[in-house]
C-alpha cells in the first residue's frame, strides 16, 4: 500500500503543475501586471513610476515564463511563473497582492467553512440515505411514485431560490434565524442553522434519487433473496445487507468531497456573509488578487487529488477483496 500511495502522489505532481500553468495562463490572458497595479493602486491618474514600484514590490516586474536577460538556469527561475509557483508545491502561499499573509488567512477562515460544511455533509447523508431507504421499502407503491416525483421537482429548483426563499421565510417573515452574518464560538450556531437547513433541503432531490438507485440495484441481487428466504424482515434486509453492500459507491461520493469541505462553498458563504474560504475566493476574484486565486485553486486541486486517494484506500476497509497494486 505504501508503494501505491507513493505512486499516486508522484502521478499527482504533473497534474498539479498543469493546473498551476492553466490558472497562470488564464489569469494573465485577462490581466497584465500593469492592469493589476493600476487596479490595486486605485487612482484615476496613477503614474507609471507608481505602477513600476507596485510591480517590483510584488515580483511582477519579471518576465512571465522566460527571462532573456538572465543567464543559465536563471532564464527560467527569474520569472513570474517560477517565483510564484515553487512555494505552492510546498504549501507556502506567500503574500496576497494586497499585502496580507495568505497562509494566515487560510488558517483563520477554514474554521467557518468547516463549521457549515461538515454538519451539512453529515446531516445530509443521514437524511438522504434514510429517505432513500424509505422509498425502497415502499417500492412499487404510490408513496415511491410521489416521492420520486417530489425529488425531481426539488432537483429542478435553483439553489439560489432555496437561499432567497429560506432567507425570506425563516429570516425575515418568521424571524427564526438571522438572515446572514457570523459570530465566533457558540454564538455561531444561530447563524449556521439557516444555511445548514437550506443545504440539506436543496440536496434532497439529487441525493435521495442517487441513493435510491444504488439500493434498488442491491435489492434485486441473489444474496437479498437468500436473506428474505431465511426469514429476515424487510428492515433487517435493508439495513443489515443492502445498506452495507452499497457502502462502496456511497464512500466514493463522500470521501472525495471530504477534503473539499476545507475550501468551503462559494455560493453559500457569499450569500450568508460567512467569512470562510469560499467567500475569501470570491472576494479575491472580484479584487483581481492573483496570488489568492492561484493559492486557492492549487489548494482545491491538491485536496481533490487527496480525496481520490482516500477513496481508493477506503475501498479496502469496506471490501476486503479489494487490493491496491
**Helix (H), strand (E), coil (C) string for 239-282:** HHHHHHHCHHHHHHHHHHHHHHHHHCCHHHHHHCCCCCHHHHHH
- Indicate whether 65 pLDDT > 80: yes
In residues, how long is the chain? 325
Query: What local confidence, expressed as pLDDT, does residue 19 receive?
Result: 87
What value does the mean pLDDT take over residues 17-45? 79
What value does the mean pLDDT take over residues 265-283? 86
Query: What local confidence, expressed as pLDDT, does residue 323 receive?
Result: 63
Contacts 24+ apart (CB under 8 A), 199-203: 199/116, 199/120, 199/124, 199/265, 199/268, 200/120, 200/123, 200/124, 200/127, 201/154, 201/162, 201/166, 202/154, 202/157, 202/159, 202/162, 203/124, 203/128
Q: How far apart are CA 206 and CA 188, in angstroms?
A: 29
Query: What local confidence, expressed as pLDDT, does residue 187 receive?
Result: 84
Query: What local confidence, expressed as pLDDT, does residue 197 receive?
Result: 92
Percent pLDDT > 90 in the chain is: 17
Q: What are the distances in angstroms from CA 130 to CA 95, 133, 160?
A: 46, 5, 25
Query: What local confidence, expressed as pLDDT, does residue 153 receive?
Result: 93
Query: What local confidence, expressed as pLDDT, does residue 154 receive?
Result: 92
List the one residue out of 294, 263, 292 whose CA is nearest residue 276: 263
* pLDDT classification of 172: cutoffs 50, 70, 90: confident
Q: How far apart are CA 31 and CA 158, in angstroms?
A: 32
- Indicate whether 314 pLDDT > 80: no
Q: pLDDT by residue (tens digit) across 33-46? A: 777 778 777 766 67
What value does the mean pLDDT take over residues 305-311? 81
Query: What local confidence, expressed as pLDDT, does residue 146 receive?
Result: 95
CA angle 169, 112, 131 (to 5 degrees): 55
pTM of this structure = 0.80
What value does the mean pLDDT take over residues 187-209? 90
What value does the mean pLDDT take over residues 105-134? 91
What value does the mean pLDDT take over residues 249-277? 81
CA angle 122, 127, 128 (to 5 degrees): 100
Q: pLDDT by residue (tens digit) across 53-62? A: 888 888 888 8
Place of cell 511563473: 81
Are the C-beta atoms of residues 169 and 179 closer than 8 Å to each other? no
- Indicate whether 112 pLDDT > 80: yes
Q: What is the largest CA-CA distance in the chain?
A: 85
What value does the mean pLDDT take over residues 212-228? 86
Query: What local confidence, expressed as pLDDT, does residue 152 receive?
Result: 93
- Across the chain, what does the average pLDDT equal? 84
- Indicate whether 11 pLDDT > 90: no
SS3 306: helix
Amino acid at each position: 500500500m505504501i508503494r501505491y500511495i507513493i505512486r499516486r502522489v508522484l502521478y499527482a505532481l504533473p497534474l498539479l503543475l498543469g493546473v498551476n500553468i492553466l490558472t497562470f495562463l488564464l489569469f494573465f490572458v485577462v490581466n497584465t501586471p500593469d492592469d493589476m497595479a493600476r487596479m490595486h493602486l486605485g487612482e484615476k491618474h496613477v503614474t507609471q513610476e507608481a505602477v513600476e514600484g507596485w510591480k517590483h514590490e510584488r515580483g511582477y516586474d519579471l518576465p512571465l515564463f522566460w527571462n532573456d536577460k538572465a543567464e543559465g538556469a536563471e532564464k527560467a527561475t527569474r520569472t513570474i511563473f517560477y517565483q510564484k509557483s515553487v512555494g505552492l508545491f510546498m504549501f507556502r502561499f506567500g503574500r496576497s497582492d494586497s499585502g496580507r499573509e495568505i497562509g494566515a488567512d487560510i488558517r483563520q477562515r477554514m474554521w467557518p467553512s468547516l463549521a457549515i460544511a461538515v454538519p451539512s455533509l453529515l446531516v445530509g447523508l443521514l437524511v438522504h440515505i434514510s429517505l432513500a431507504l424509505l422509498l425502497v421499502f415502499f417500492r412499487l407503491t404510490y408513496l415511491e411514485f410521489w416521492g420520486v416525483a417530489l425529488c425531481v421537482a426539488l432537483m429542478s429548483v435553483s439553489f439560489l431560490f432555496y437561499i432567497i426563499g429560506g432567507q425570506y421565510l425563516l429570516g425575515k417573515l418568521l424571524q427564526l434565524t438571522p438572515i446572514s452574518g457570523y459570530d465566533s464560538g457558540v454564538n455561531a450556531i444561530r447563524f449556521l442553522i439557516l444555511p445548514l437547513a437550506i443545504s440539506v433541503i436543496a440536496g434532497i432531490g439529487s441525493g435521495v434519487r442517487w441513493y435510491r438507485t444504488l439500493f434498488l440495484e442491491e435489492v434485486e441481487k441473489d444474496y437479498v433473496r437468500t436473506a428474505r428466504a431465511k426469514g429476515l424482515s424487510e428492515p433487517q434486509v435493508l439495513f443489515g445487507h443492502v445498506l452495507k453492500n452499497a457502502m462502496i459507491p456511497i464512500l466514493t461520493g463522500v470521501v472525495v468531497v471530504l477534503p473539499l469541505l476545507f475550501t468551503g462553498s462559494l455560493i453559500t458563504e457569499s450569500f450568508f456573509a460567512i467569512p470562510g474560504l469560499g467567500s475569501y475566493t470570491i472576494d479575491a476574484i472580484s479584487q483581481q488578487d492573483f496570488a489568492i486565486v492561484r493559492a486557492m485553486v492549487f489548494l482545491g486541486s491538491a485536496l481533490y487529488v487527496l480525496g481520490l486517494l482516500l477513496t481508493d484506500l477506503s475501498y479496502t476497509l469496506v471490501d476486503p477483496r479489494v487490493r491496491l497494486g
